């Protein structure tokens, strides 16, 4: 069988076939990428996208803190942004941030410059690019509260910029198309905040550690909160706390978290989630929606 690499443009970054994604995914389980591309820089990314075949299937991943990769993996090219996209520049109260920066690193950088409004990001495990696309949030705040604009590149290699008003943010969603790769973003911090920023970060980090199974193999909140309700309360009421399937389990610490307890396969995790959806629907009449993004072939 011919190598897929032979049909792809030359790059300066990493371009490799059959790369395991399970070890990168926070669940610690999952299939491979048919091809993995980690661009050297923006020019490398744009050049690849402009020259790759129009029918090439492209999937973009970040920290994989909110992703389940099915066992047969992802066909086509998986793009993960590398070190060039992990830079933070701060001028006055404006933070220019690469999309591959982890949200906790952005929160820490703002804290070091005594800029408020970004403390909640310490509780979000993913990267800035992924957080923007899903409007990630916690403790009553979300990425849209601090974001000003972002830069993105289309799958045909066109660079575009979007103001906050153009991104269509809603609860855990945005109108940023899957045909766009977020590459950079600008945030406004709050100077001269009338509270201790470092204290707030420590409080939020401590609350996350006490309330969530942070030391387990998990991808965070499994289901979105239905309007006016808490997913964990519905799961608890349906008797699903501690429920298991294969090597996967509903966390005893926070029942909106599925954990890889004993070498769970992606199928164990997904099946357990679907069983929880069924039990909650039967008990409350509410159908939970996955917050974890499921990708790849079964």
Report which of 76, 62, 58 is spatially closest to residue 19, judged by C-alpha positions.
76
Who contacts 285 (Cβ-Cβ below 8 Å, separation ≥6)? none
> What span, in angstroms and rounded, lies between the C-alpha atoms of 182 and 103?
14
Contact 183, 153 (CB under 8 A): yes
DSSP of 104-172: HHHHHHHHHTTEES-GGGGG--SBHHHHHHTT-EETTEEGGGTEEEEEEEETTS-EEEEEGGGS--BTT
Who contacts 202 (Cβ-Cβ below 8 Å, separation ≥6)? none
What does the buried/exposed string (b/e) look like for 54-80 if buried means 16 or more CB atoms within 10 Å of the residue's CB? Answer: eebebbbbbbbbbbbbbbebbeebbbb
Report which of 216, 190, 191 is spatially closest to residue 26, judged by C-alpha positions.
216
Which residues are marked as active site? Answer: 172, 221, 291
Regarding beta strands 58-61 and 74-80, do their DSSP bridges make them parallel or antiparallel, or are they unpaired? parallel
Helices (H), the chain: 42-51, 103-112, 128-133, 197-211, 231-237, 266-284
> What span, in angstroms and rounded, lies between the C-alpha atoms of 285 and 51?
49
């Amino acid at each position: 069988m011919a190598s897929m690499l032979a049909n792809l443009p030359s790059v300066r970054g990493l371009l490799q076939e059959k790369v395991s994604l399970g070890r990168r995914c926070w669940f610690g389980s999952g299939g491979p990428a048919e091809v993995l591309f980690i661009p050297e820089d923006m020019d490398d990314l744009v050049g690849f996208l402009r020259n790759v075949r129009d029918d090439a299937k492209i999937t973009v991943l970040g920290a994989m803190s909110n992703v389940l990769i099915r066992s047969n993996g992802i066909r086509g090219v998986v793009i993960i942004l590398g070190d060039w996209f992990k830079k933070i520049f701060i001028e006055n109260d404006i933070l220019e941030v690469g999309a591959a920066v982890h949200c906790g690193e952005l929160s820490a950088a703002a804290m070091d410059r005594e800029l408020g409004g970004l403390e909640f990001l310490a509780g979000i495990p993913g990267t800035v690019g992924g957080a923007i696309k899903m409007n990630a949030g916690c403790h009553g705040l979300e990425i849209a509260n601090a974001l000003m604009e972002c830069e993105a590149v289309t799958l045909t290699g066109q660079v575009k910029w979007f103001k906050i008003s153009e991104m269509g943010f809603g609860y855990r969603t945005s109108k940023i198309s899957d045909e766009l790769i977020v590459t950079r973003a600008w945030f406004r911090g709050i100077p001269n905040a009338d509270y201790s920023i470092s204290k707030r970060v420590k409080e939020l980090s401590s609350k996350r550690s006490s309330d969530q199974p942070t030391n387990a193999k998990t991808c965070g909140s499994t289901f979105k909160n239905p309007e006016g309700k808490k997913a964990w309360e519905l799961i608890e009421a349906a008797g699903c706390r501690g429920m298991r399937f294969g090597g996967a389990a509903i966390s005893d610490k926070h029942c909106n978290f599925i954990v890889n307890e004993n070498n769970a396969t992606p199928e164990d995790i997904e099946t357990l989630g679907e069983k929880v959806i069924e039990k909650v629907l039967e008990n409350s009449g509410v159908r939970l929606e996955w917050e974890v993004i499921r990708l790849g072939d079964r």
